[in-house]
Structure formats: structure tokens, C-alpha cells
Amino acid sequence: MGAYRIEKDSMGELQVPKTALYGAQTQRAINNFPISGIAMPQAFIQALGLVKQACANANYDLGGLDENRRRAISSICDDVINGKLKDQFPLDVFQTGSATSTNMNANEVIANLASQEAGKPVHPNDHVNMSQSSNDVIPTTIHVSAALSCQQQLIPAIKHLISTIDQKAESLADIVTTGRTHLMDAMPVSLGQELSGWSAQLQSALSHIEHALPEIHQLAIGGTAVGTGINADESFGTLVAQQLSNSTGLAFKVANNRFAALSSQDAAVALSGQLKTLATALMKISNDLRWMNSGPLAGIGEIALPALQPGSSIMPGKVNPVMPEATAMVCAQVIGNDATITIAGQSGNFQLNVMLPLVAFNLLQSIEILSNVSRLLADKAITGFTVNQQNIDSALAKNPILVTALNTVIGYELGAKIAKTAYAEGRAVIDVAVDMTDLSRKELEKLLDPKKMVR
């Protein structure tokens, strides 16, 4: 057993590890919630440092906090923001629904170190938590952390993936392949056109995410316990939002209605919904890549994805489409996270939502894993895949659906007979059409040129 010190709070005394920077309330939560072993996301803790720092500066501006304490609190918040104190935030995601425990964890750590730096007592509630409640701090921190994660990670990652796809599409613009609907042969498309569809999906998803962010930029801070702003100056929330805007470069502002900001998580639910849309697009793209890469002999085999690692512990030489598979699993997780956030968003009972830690965890996880996998899909799958021209040409030449281009000349019924004959005999459509129509081979070559069909 390690060494302990005795700490006390309004409920009495208890033992806290001697080396811990937190105090009694954090320790109670450690004792009460040994549930998952999953700590609150680091992006959330760093954003909480930003919020606490902005609050200290606002309280100083309003005359509630002296310069010595303000400076000390702000200095320790810098360490929180920079991740230097992350081992001092051990609390489980599955805790009190307001995340009061995490708010007090931050208050206690900051107060402990700030007291040392200031050379006089800094109280976790009276000073670090001045003009605040967990009920407005935590929703504010959810929004700040989500906004920063989207701006710094997700949006650049999606743009990188779009750019990578666009460059690849341009290089494949002249390669015509068999189109597929219902997983069955259809009229030709170019690979460039196929990839342009992926890019358009991602552009749309990106636009929707960006349109969801202005509501994320609205903050609950200043509402304190129930939205009325009890124990806070009327201008406190506005000052905090201005401080956060200055420190992050994002346009934060006080929520239009702080009763809604405390009791609901509608903005987070909306953003999560757009993350789900992005995940849906990425799932489609990943599955297209898997099908196009399938084989290499018994599948479609149109492309060869970069070989990243051995694909089997028993079958030598097997290589799998691991990057699209990993992407698809991320998408499944994000879709599940969205369902969780939706349920959590419904848990606003009267003046407070009581699943705030769950919203924070799932929302930030979705942003993080979508950001990471988007870059990996771009750099380890799309950039480096090669085209199997021989497989494409062979399948395209025998595609009976090419006869569709003759409909206006020979009619649907004769076209159907030619297609069925070509398929049954394994012959090229043009060869069968020469036998079954009055058209010359030269005329048919012009009509059945796949490159003309995609323009």
C-alpha cells in the first residue's frame, strides 16, 4: 500500500494518495466509479483547462479574483492545456451525469498547484470555480473540445482525403471500366467518374459538418446551476466566450438561451448526426475499394491496393484490404456512437442533461477516429493503388450491357437478344451484333466505343 494523506470535503475525511494533486471529491469519485477504466478524453481535459483559464481571467476583469491568484490559476491551466497533468485526471467516463466529479477534479488539481505558485490559499470552489457550476462548465467544455477537434483535426483530414481522391481521379480519367448496379454489370464509367462520386460525397459531408459548428460555438457558460446565472455577474459568460475566442481563434459566444444550453445537448446530437453521415460515405468508399481490389484472381481485381501486411496466419502470400477494413470498422463505431449520443441527448431532465460525460466521450471519439482513418485511407490506400488494365479491358469487352448503346438504332428487343447471346456464348457484344444486325463492324465499333459512352 502506498502512502496516504487525509483530505476532507463537505462529507467528511478520507484518504488520498500522498502524491496525488487532486483532493477529496476526486478521490470519492475514484472510489465510487471503478466501472470501465476509460478516462475522460484528453481533448476534453485540455479544453477544460482552457475554460478554467478563461473563467479566471473573466473573474479578474470583474474584480472577483486578485491578480496573484489569477496569474497562478492561469499558469496551472497552461499545464492542463498542454497535457502536462493528464495523469491527474483518472476519473471514469461512467460517473455522475453532470460530470461534477471531473469539474471538481480540475478545480482541485488547479487549486493545489496554484496555491503553491501564488504562495497563498487558492480554493477549488471559491476561486477556481468562481462564478461557475459544473452544470454550465461541462456543456461549455463539450462544445469547446468538439469545436477545436473539428477545426484542428477533422476538417483538415477530410480536405486531405478529398484532395487525394481528386488527384487520383484526374490520373484515372481516361480509364473506362464496367459500371455496376445491384453488383451486376451495367453501362461503362471511367474510374475518374467513379472516384468523383466519392469526392462529392465527402464534400457534402464536410459542408454539413461545417454548418453544424456555429451552434457548437454557442456556450452555456454563465448559466451556472440552472440557467439563471446565480452567483455570476451578468457579463461573466460573455467575457469567458471572448477569452476563449481570443485563445483559440474560434468565434465562441454565449448561447442564445442558457436554459436550453444546460438542459439539452441538441447541438452535439446534430454534429454527431453529420459525423454519422461522413461515416456512411466512408463506409461506401471503403466497400467499393474492397470490391474493386477483390481477388486477385477470383474477384473483380480491377485495382491492387498497396500491400501493407501479411493477410493470413495460415495462407502464405495472402494480402488483405486492411485499410478499407479498418475504415469500415471506424464507421461502424461512429454510427454506434451516434445512437448513444442520441439517447444521451434525450436525457435532459428539467434543467440539466445528465449524460454529459457520455456525450463528451462518444462525440470526441468519433471526431478523433474519423480524423485519423481519413488520413490513413488517403495515404495508405487511395494514393498508392494501381490499376489492373488487362482485367478491366477483358471484362469491358465482354460486357453484354454495352448493347444498350444500340437501343436507338436496333431497338430494345433485338438488343436483349444480342446481350443474352453474347453472355451465353462468352463472346464480345460487337461480334454477336455483326451476326445479328445489318450494321457494319465499322458502324458498330463507333456505336460501341466505351470511351464515347462515358462522355
Match 480509364 to its residue by C-alpha cell. 175
Same domain for 377 and 299? yes
Give the pLDDT confidence score for residue 397 in this predicted structure: 86
Q: Which of 182, 294, 374, 394 is catalytic?
A: 182
Instruction: Tell me how far apart the alpha carbons of residues 308 and 319 are, in angstroms, rounded to a whole number.
Output: 8
What's the pLDDT tens digit per position in 94-123?
999 999 999 999 999 999 999 999 999 999
Q: Is the pLDDT of residue 450 over 90?
A: yes
What's the pLDDT tens digit per position in 197-215?
999 999 999 999 999 999 9
In a domain, 224, yes or no: no
Instruction: Tell me how far apart the alpha carbons of residues 194 and 200 are, in angstroms, rounded to a whole number.
Output: 10
Same domain for 268 and 141? yes
The closest of 103, 154, 101, 150 to 130, measured between CA atoms, is 103
Same domain for 101 and 211? no
Instruction: Tell me how far apart the alpha carbons of residues 169 and 289 are, in angstroms, rounded to a whole number.
Output: 14
Question: Which CATH number is 78's domain given?
Answer: 1.10.275.10
Same domain for 336 and 407? no
In the chain, the N- to C-terminal Cα span, in Å, equals 75
Same domain for 210 and 297? yes
Residue 182 annotated to the active site: yes
Tell me what the mean pLDDT of segment 370-386 comes to.
Answer: 98
In a domain, 122, yes or no: yes
Instruction: Tell me how far apart the alpha carbons of residues 228 and 293 are, in angstroms, rounded to a whole number.
Output: 59
In a domain, 162, yes or no: yes
Match 469487352 to its residue by C-alpha cell. 397
Q: What domain range is 316 assigned to? A: 136-215+256-389
Same domain for 99 and 143? no
In a domain, 222, yes or no: no
In a domain, 250, yes or no: no
Same domain for 378 and 411? no
Give the pLDDT confidence score for residue 107 in this predicted structure: 98
Mean pLDDT of the residues in the chain: 97
Same domain for 68 and 83? yes
Same domain for 165 and 306? yes
In a domain, 103, yes or no: yes
Q: Which of 312, 313, 374, 394 is catalytic?
A: 312
Which of 130, 145, 171 marks a domain boundary?
A: 130
Looking at 129-143, 322-336, 377-391, 415-429, which range is the least confident one? Answer: 415-429
Q: Is the pLDDT of residue 1 over 80?
A: no
The structural domain count of the chain equals: 3
Which of 130, 158, 192 marks a domain boundary?
A: 130
In a domain, 233, yes or no: no
Same domain for 159 and 279? yes
Note whether 267 and 216 are within 8 A (CB): yes
Give the pLDDT confidence score for residue 351 in this predicted structure: 98
Which of 114, 130, 146 marks a domain boundary?
A: 130
What's the pLDDT tens digit per position in 26-43?
999 999 999 999 999 999
Question: Which CATH number is 425's domain given?
Answer: 1.10.40.30
Cis peptide before 90 (omega within 30 of 0): no
In a domain, 310, yes or no: yes
Note whether 128 and 56 are within 8 A (CB): yes
What's the pLDDT tens digit per position in 273-310?
999 999 999 999 999 999 999 999 999 999 999 999 99
Same domain for 302 and 284? yes
Distances in Å between the alpha carbon of 172 and those of 12, 193, 290, 323, 337?
Answer: 71, 9, 18, 21, 36
Note whether 347 and 355 are within 8 A (CB): yes
Same domain for 305 and 350? yes
